[in-house]
Amino acid sequence: MRVGVLTGGGDCPGLNAVIRAVVRKGIKDYGYEFVGFRDGWRGPLEGDTMPLDRAAVSGILPRGGTILGSSRTNLMKIEGGVEKVKQNMAELNIDALVAIGGEDTLGVATQLHDQGVKVVGVPKTIDNDLNATDYTFGFDTAVNIATEAIDRLHTTAESHHRALVVEVMGRHAGWIALHSGMAAGANVILIPERPFDIHEVVAHVESRFQTNYAPILVVAEGAHPKDGQMELSTGEKDSFGHVRLGGIGQRLSEEIESRTGKEARSVVLGHVQRGGTPSAFDRVLATRLGVNAIEAVHDQEYGRMVGLQGTEIVRVDLSAATDKLKTVPSERFEEAEVFFG
């Protein structure tokens, strides 16, 4: 049996741990051979491969990024793309694929499976917004990085009597903002699921200034005000139609300055949240998912994805992961709201 492995979409701490686990388990217990496809769906589309043996995965467990490279190539937008992938897999004698990715990569995997490709998925995203898994690896690392940054911003904000707006990742779901904001004692947390009222935000900022502490606001990049309250700019789109975000933090700090007369600054954590070594939690989760993904291949359970439910790794249909996003429930946000202002 020869198995192809690919990583697609935004990179994420723990990807290398999954690749290592897939390969180590597959060689040790089943005697499989592996082929690495480079840069997400571009690899199978163009037949661009790299060796993926025991030596290739040695020493990669704590390394961030992905040794296979990644891209946001949308196979389904390329004419004849699916046929090309099937042809390349046949020429390379590849029997099955393990696709490690988020909403977009697994969406493509679902469609490929519908067209007869043998594929098993592994959920990945720092955003933690994939359905059918309680956590995705990379999220814990991103939250730890954001929490440390916010801890540091408290002291400088207080020294200068400024409001600090920290923009974190989270296009459609505010999990990183919610967890890092709660862990680091933010005074306001804004998430995409809850359009915010700028008057309430300003009231929280003012009441915080009155206590002589400086306000820290954590805002997910996809957060937005209630209709018509603030003008926002829109960016260019990628091949999956997602707008490139980034800018709400700056807009909010300008608005706070003009409405309160106090100084406000914004900090965009950006890709720092995705870089570097995974946390121990993410290494363990990624390793368990990798081991279970290759077991699913061995059991010929194609069209399935492995996920974490409670403390167990389970198998679900690939489509269950991408049918709908796992967003922050209102009860979770209300727990965080206790500490606003």
What amino acid positions are annotated as catalytic residues?
127
Nearer to ligand F6P, 209 or 240 (CB): 240
Among 57, 169, 248, 313, binds ligand F6P (CB under 6 A): 169
Nearer to ligand F6P, 17 or 245 (CB): 245
Strands 264-268, 188-190: pairing is: unpaired
Task: Among 126, 157, 256, 318, indicate the residue that binds ligand F6P (CB under 6 A).
Answer: 126
Residues 6 or more apart whose Cβ sits within 8 Å of residue 13: 64, 126, 137, 138, 141, 142, 274, 275, 276, 277, 278, 279, 282
CB of 102 to ligand F6P, least distance (A): 6
Quote the least distance from Cβ 290 to ligand F6P, whole Å: 20
The count of residues interacting with ligand F6P (CB under 6 A) is 11
Q: Which stretch binds ligand F6P (CB under 6 A): 17-25, 164-172, 177-185, 291-299?
A: 164-172
Phi and psi dihedrals of 4, rounded to 5? -95, 145
- CB distance 302 to 113 below 8 Å: yes
100 carries a ligand binding annotation: no
Q: Would the annotation count 10 as a binding residue?
A: yes
Identify the H or E element spanning 28: helix 15-30
User: Residue 329: which residues within 8 A CB-CB, separation 6 or more?
Assistant: none
Q: In the bound complex, which residue of the shown chain has the CB atom lying closest to ligand F6P?
A: 169
| Element containing residue 251 per DSSP (H, E) | helix 248-260
Per CB under 6 A, the list member of 20, 38, 208, 274 interacting with ligand F6P is 274
Minimum Å gap between C-beta 55 and ligand F6P is: 30
> Which residue is associated with the tokens 């992961």?
321
State CA 176 to chain mean position distance. Answer: 9
Min separation Cβ 146 and ligand F6P, Å? 11
Interface stretch with ligand F6P, choices 25-33, 45-53, 124-132, 199-207 (CB under 6 A): 124-132
- Whole-angstrom CA distances from 324 to 30, 314, 318 are 34, 18, 12
Task: Give residue 308's identity as a one-letter amino acid code.
Answer: L
What is the rounded distance in angstroms from the CA atom of residue 162 to the CA atom of residue 340? 17
Task: For the CB of residue 6, give the shortest distance to ligand F6P in the complex, in Å.
Answer: 16
Three-state SS string over 146-199 comes to HHHHHHHHHHHHHHHCCEEEEEECCCCCCHHHHHHHHHCCCCEEECCCCCECHH
The answer to the question of whether 181 is labelled as a binding residue is no
In sequence order, which residues have a C-beta less than 8 Å from that of residue 209 and are 6 or more positions away? Answer: 161, 163, 215, 260, 262
134 token code pair: 């309680």
103 is in an annotated binding site: yes
**What is the largest distance, in Å, between two alpha-carbon atoms of the chain?**
69
Binding marks (x or -) toward ligand F6P, 240..269, rule CB under 6 A?
-----x------------------------
Nearer to ligand F6P, 282 or 295 (CB): 282
102 binds ligand F6P (CB under 6 A): yes
| Binding of ligand F6P by 52 (CB under 6 A) | no
Q: How far is the CB of 139 from ligand F6P (least distance, A)?
A: 10
Residue 253 or 273: the one with the smaller Cβ distance to ligand F6P is 273
Q: Please give the annotated binding residues for substrate, written as ranges.
A: 125-127, 162, 169-171, 221, 265, 271-274
Q: Please give the annotated binding residues for Mg(2+), written as ranges.
A: 103
Q: Please give the annotated binding residues, written as ranges.
A: 10, 103, 125-127, 162, 169-171, 221, 265, 271-274
Q: What is the binding site for ligand F6P (CB under 6 A)?
A: 10, 102, 125-127, 169-171, 221, 245, 274
